[in-house]
Structure 1
Amino acid sequence: MITKLPALLLFAAALLAAPARADHGLSLGQPPKYAAGFPSFDYVRADAPKGGTLTLPLPGGFDTLNPFTLKGDHESGMAMLTLDTLMEKSWDEPFAVYGLLAEDVRVAPDGLSVTFRINPRARFHNGDPVLAKDVAASFNTLTADPAAAPMYKFYWGDVARVETPAPRTVVFHFKQRNSELPLILGELPVFSHKSYPKGLASAANTPPIGSGPYRFAKAERGRQSEYRRDPQYWAQNLPVRKGRYNFDTVRFKYYKDDSVRIEGLKGGQYDFMQENVARNWARAYPEAALQKRGLAKHEWTHRNTAGMQGFVMNTRKPPFDNILVRRAMVESFDFETTNSRMFYSAYRRSNSFFTNSELAARGRPEGAELALLNPLKAQLPPQVFAQDAPEPPRIDAAQGVRPNLLKARALLEQAGYRYRNGVLVDKQGRPLAFEFLSPSKTYERVTAKWQRDLAKIGVKMTVRTADSAVFQKRMTAFDFDMTIVVYANSNSPGNEQAMYFGCEAARTEGSRNWAGVCLPAVEALLKKFEHFNSRTELVAAARALDRVMRHQYIVVPNWYADTYRVVYRDTLGFPATMPLYYSPMERALSVGWYRK
């Protein structure tokens, strides 16, 4: 999601200065782009034809149709296709939402509550009307049920209680003012209160009763799932839904091995696919083979913030509880050679948790950012103030990786390791060794050179490739030394930062605090994302957090691309106007259509 705009007063905050009124939408950072009564989003074709089938590949498999539980491998389409949310996010703005299940929204003058009024036309697939009690039940299930994934509890953690003063009116009361909370509550997936009357644990494989554009049709042994468009979908003529969800049938086919996905595409099994591997993009799709199936390669532009993809180190246990060891890992990774030899120089290096955006820290702290950091000076290393924001090291083409490996070994010696018989050992004689947990064989290739380079300085890295079920189980329990993750961030960061870096998340299995970060200074900075009065304040908070976390060296930064590489069939049509902030599969599903 996301590019930067000039600092403006928050639209949501502006509501606080006036009596509460009903609004068709809310926005952070600027007034909403779309006025009340707008016909449709600019990036859709409002009269797109309905019909046809869209078949998509997905990695892994699934063993549950319940999308909300912590346990199990979830089927990917259920929440996306069968559940409506209170509001719909715009892909043209950093963060703006417009009415879907909620026909209007009111933020209280004191900023301590938000009221949604449910559209009287809204219907669940079983014919029941969508009511406030369903919204309350959905929220309470996701945030209070012990079997629910913990991210929901963190995401809406500032909600004190939910009330239903009228059948179609739901009010969320806040513990404190939180600028983005009215908007992210608009993202609440709503299901019928009849869905899980005995809780999520007693319905581990039960789909929710939703009101979305598709109905679940069938699943086959964790390898395929299918959805059928609801021709009577209640919201199909709303501005936020017009011209969208046009395929009669959406089918997901799951694969275990990447070669199966590639051959499946060339064999005509899929209609659309995103390719994330540069080598595959360069070599795996001969034009002649694609043409036989009516397929072609395309590159879609976007302005999404890249966040941070990287090799995350689990600081909960040795050796990565030592920052010097973590810094050595960052120094030792040869991105430049990896990029040129394996990725056909297709990528740029990630350098921030907000890569490719104005939210990334630069140089030394100053202005509003420095004002946030100064009160925390005693809790932060002096480098935060005395040095530029850390950038990933570069490998000189003439000298190769050797100078960087020497720096890495020097850091490890500072950490107390000594070189003996070709191996680095600690004071007890234990070798410096760790396991890289990989979700795909793709990373065996990426890490092979790094393994050899680390071995040159006496460090042993073993690579364990796990299937999707084992990988997810180990990630949930934080049972890894190092693995690959993506800190997905938007141009309007908020409560999700606590999921990445908060102490409570660090202690909660299944959270996204993979590194185990728990620092007093970070806890203080996370509070700055709860309430702010201007875009300037949000940018300063993001830069301060980014700077502090980069000085912790919890990830070995990877890479990003500023275009999406996609392959799709010539029977698919897409609007001429591209959105700014989107994901390729979501665009294909949501605004594409079948051309007869």
Structure 2
Amino acid sequence: MAISRRHLLQGGAFVALTPALGTAACFPTATPAYAEGSSEPVWRHALASLGDIKYPAGFKRFGYVNPDAPKGGVVRMFELGTFDNFNIVINGVKGSLANGVTMVLETLTTRSLDEPLTAYGQLAEAAAYPDDFSYAIYRLRAEARWHDGKPVTPDDIVFSFDALKKNSPMYSAYYRHIVKCEPVGERDVKFTFDMPGNRELPAIAGEFPVLSKHWWEGTDAQGRKRDVTATTLEIPLGSGPYRIKEFVASRSVVLERVKDYWGKDLAVSVGQNNFDQIRFEFFRDDSVGREAFKADQLDWFSERSGKQWSTAYDFPAVTEKRVIKEKFPDESSGRMQGFAFNLRRPLFADVRLRRAFNLAYDWETSDRLLSNGEYHRDSSYFDGMPEFMATGLPEDQELQILETVRDKVPAEVFTTPYKNPVGGNDEASRANLREASRLLKEAGFENRDRKLVDPSGKPVSVEFICQDPGDERGVLFYKPYLERLGIAVSVRTLDSVQYENRRRSFDFDIITAIWPQSLSPGNEQRDFFGSEAADRPGSRNYPGIKNPAVDALIDRIIFAKDRAELAACCKALDRVLLWNCYVVPQFAFGFDRAARWDRFSHPEPLPKYGVSAFPTLWWWDAEKAAKLGKRS
């Protein structure tokens, strides 16, 4: 399950895609799905598709929190982009992604941050499923309440699931194997799956944000009936530890802590959600936001640029230790980031042309000049997760799995370890370009008067589309190398709405794509790389991959019976994706960079899979704040 744990302001919508970091509880007891000799379900205290569960039934709190963390204070955070909608059901229709945190809408379950993807109860108090994984039942907490005091009911769960699956391309894809959601008791809701054996489905059934049916089927202050399929800036009714207090459209959103939050004493709420207010300030450009941070208009700034991290923080507050720069290790996920070809365009059909594009990319020089050597190059679709990364030649279980698709994959999968070309100097770059020219000629391309033409004689031209100046800088560095091969290159930077619409409709030649991977890859791989998703608007199969070997390996991942088999399947998929050259790999870092004004504290140590865990686990430190003085 690889939907990112982060909450997002996505597609112009203020949304929660996955469980809030650290909001709520546990299930009663960890036992088999059925008692021996009985057809009655036995409720589980936690769900994990593979692996052990760390916290036992009845635990009091997560081990990484400070249970005595003080409540109070205001934190001001940077957001890139804008927003025009609070309706999560139609997220992704407009606008750009703008990372943020929302704890307004809750989910049935939430995840701990010190173990790989174990789900504990949030709105739900218990879950059960049979040994064949053909369905799952969740039992809601009797005390779960909306902010207006009304109880959360099975009807809310059914309404939310149906609305999201029908109207959101992302949720429609992610939950396509859940064919029915229905109430089966006063507090019970049942999810029925399309086939048995998919051990991940019981857990991911608890991940979607729950909407209030009675609120959405009601009327607004002007007496107009609400529409769950329409954009709206009406503040939605939630059930979580925060509510939206106020906002300025496209500019800011303020969350306030709900003092009488129904779940504040649950086991996995303890020590979390400590700020009285969380303010999100939106900027169209990183550089403007960075200057606002330096002027003490923001408290926390997550730095995306390696070069800026090295050069832009030479100001007195850093020297005086009033501003803290810190790199937080990211062990919670892996990823591939790269220039993705749109295989729906005939130009990119030949793998030799795609390989030539990779040979033309002098990543080492780009990293040195643009990022001060801060990064390493992606060499895997699971970069940062050694357990799943293909290395060397396939062997043992991975080799056995690949043998089942031998006739459908490049021969190099079995004979040659995948390696990106290496640049870094003029000699290496020239050698790579010569090899790229050889591959292009072998594929039927010719260079005529310094212009590359395809086998039909048509000049080769490509357009890169970008959504922010940071992406544009990287493409502009790459452009002259491709032009030396005779390829005409144009670069277009679009506003967030245009970019998202073109990406969703696959109206591009090449984009920068990112595929985040969780600690337990599974059903989301179909949306990433599966043939069914290739032509579905809004899917994350950006290249349009239609490969029967890839489909077969994804199925092996989903139905893996233990962690060892899962790892072998992921390595096999990784190797096949790499040798098909669907992307020109870019870079990864393995850390989150953040600068902060020193007004806050956090528990020690931070959880392994929480990255910075800001602001969820942090708190306002009055003593530190007093030393800094009044904010600007």
Both structures adopt the same fold (TM-score exceeding 0.5) = yes
1:552 alignment partner, one of 580, 596, 601:
580
Give me the whole-angstrom Cα distance separating, in 2, the residues matched to 1:121 and 1:74: 37
One-letter amino acid of the structure 2 residue matched with residue 591 of structure 1: L
Q: Rate the CA distance shift 1:344–1:225 in 2: closer, same or farther, 3 A.
A: same
1:66 to 87, 93, 115: 87
CA–CA separation in structure 1 for the residues paired with 2:174 and 2:611: 21
CA contact (8 A) 1:45 1:243 kept: yes
Q: 1:384 is matched by which residue type in structure 2? A: V
Q: Residue 380 of structure 1: CA displacement?
A: 2.3
**Aligned equivalent of 1:166, options 158, 182, 185:** 185
Structure-1 separation of matches of 2:192 and 2:524 = 19
Superposed displacement of residue 400, structure 1? 3.2
Q: CA deviation at 1:353?
A: 0.5
Q: Which residue of 2 aligns with 1:375?
A: 404
- The answer to whether the 8 A contact 1:194-1:209 is kept is no
- Counterpart position of 1:54: 75
- Residues in 2 aligned to 1:452 and 1:96: alpha-carbon distance in whole angstroms: 47
Residue pairs, 1:411-450, within 5 angstroms: 411-450=439-478
The correspondence for 1:360, drawn from 379, 389, 392, is 389
Q: Is 1:125 paired with 2:147?
A: yes
Structural RMSD (CA):
2.3
Q: For 1:336, what is the secondary structure of its paired residue?
A: helix
Match of 2:246 in 1: 218
Deviates further, 229-238 or 366-375: 366-375
1:588 maps onto 2:622 in alignment = no
SS in 2 for 1:508: coil
1:190 aligns with 2:210: yes
Q: Which moves more between the two structures, 23-32 or 568-577?
A: 23-32
Equivalent in the alignment of 2:119: 97
Deviations 1:199-222 (A, max 9, x none): 532455455432111111222131
Q: From 426, 449, 453, give the equivalent of 2:481.
A: 453
Identity among equivalent pairs (%): 34
Look up the SS of the partner of 1:475 in the other structure. Answer: helix
Shift in alpha-carbon separation, 1:21–1:30, aligned structure 2, 3 A = same
Give the drift of 1:404: 0.6
Partner of 1:42: 63
Report the Cα offset of residue 270 of structure 1.
0.9
Cα shift at 1:377: 2.3
What's the counterpart of residue 199 of structure 2?
179
* Per-residue CA distance 1:261-290 (angstroms, 9 max, x = gap): 111111111111111201110111114144
Does the Cα contact within 8 Å between 2:31 and 2:44 map onto a contact in 1? no
Q: Distance in 2 between matches of 1:581 and 1:395?
A: 34
The question of whether the paired residues in 1 share the 8 Å contact of 2:79 and 2:99 is answered with no
Aligned CA distance change for structure 1 residues 327 and 383 (closer, same or farther; 3 Å)? same
Cα deviations by residue, 1:76-130 (Å, 9 ceiling, x for unpaired): 6898321111111111112111111111111223321111111111001121101
How far the C-alpha of 1:291 sits from its partner, in A, is 6.1
Matched, 1:234 2:262: yes
Deviates most, 101-110 or 204-213: 204-213
CA displacement, residues 327-385 of structure 1 (integer Å, 9 cap, x when unaligned): 11111111111112221111111101101221011222222222222222232232222
Higher relative CO (Cα under 8 Å, sequence separation at least 6) belongs to: 1
TM-score by length of 1: 0.93
Q: How many residues align?
A: 581
Question: CA 1:308 to 1:592, structure 2 compared with 1: closer, same or farther past 3 Å?
Answer: same
Q: How does 1:168-317 map to 2 (within 5 A)?
A: 168-176=187-195, 177-197=197-217, 200-290=228-318, 294-317=322-345
Name the CA distance, whole Å, in 2 between partners of 1:199 and 1:155.
23
Report what 1:142 is aligned to.
164
* Runs (5+) with no aligned partner, structure 1: 3-11
Question: Residues of 1 paired with 2:97 and 2:216: CA distance?
Answer: 18
Deviates more, 1:355-364 or 1:487-496: 355-364
The whole-number CA distance in structure 1 between the counterparts of 2:45 and 2:315 is 47
Aligned to 1:152: 171
Aligned runs of 1:478-489 on 2, under 5 Å? Answer: 478-489=506-517
- The offset of 1:449, in angstroms, is 2.9
Q: 2-side partners of 1:118 and 1:546: how far apart?
A: 39
Q: 2:33, 2:44 within 8 Å by CA — same for their partners in 1?
A: no
Report the alpha carbon displacement of residue 532 of structure 1 after superposing the two structures with TM: 2.4
TM-score by length of 2: 0.88
Name the amino acid aligned to 2:614.
Answer: A
**2:464–2:490 Cα contact (<8 Å) kept:** yes
Corresponding position: 1:23 with 2:44: yes
Give the one of 335, 339, 345 matched to 2:363: 335
1:301 deviation in Å?
2.3
Is the partner of 1:81 in helix, strand or coil?
A: coil
Are 1:307 and 1:487, in contact at CA under 8 Å, matched by a contact in 2?
Answer: yes
Conserved 8 A contact 2:126-2:140: yes
In 2, the alpha carbon distance for the partners of 1:373 and 1:78 equals: 40
Quote the residue 1:563 is aligned against.
591
Question: 1:306 Cα deviation (Å)?
Answer: 2.6
Describe the superposition over 1:451-506 as per-residue Cα deviations: whole angstroms up to 9, x where unpaired. 11112221122111112111111111111111112110012001110111112211
Structure-2 change in CA distance of 1:592 and 1:329 (3 Å): same
What SS class does the counterpart of residue 399 from structure 1 fall into? helix
Q: Which moved more, 1:548-557 or 1:199-208?
A: 199-208
Q: Which moved more, 1:116-125 or 1:516-525?
A: 516-525
Listed one character per residue, the Cα deviations across residues 58-93 of structure 1 (whole Å, up to 9, x for unaligned) are 111111111220422379689832111111111111
Opposite residue 540 of structure 1, the aligned amino acid is A
How far residue 34 of structure 1 moved from its aligned partner, in angstroms, is 1.0
Distance 1:17 1:536, change over 3 A: farther
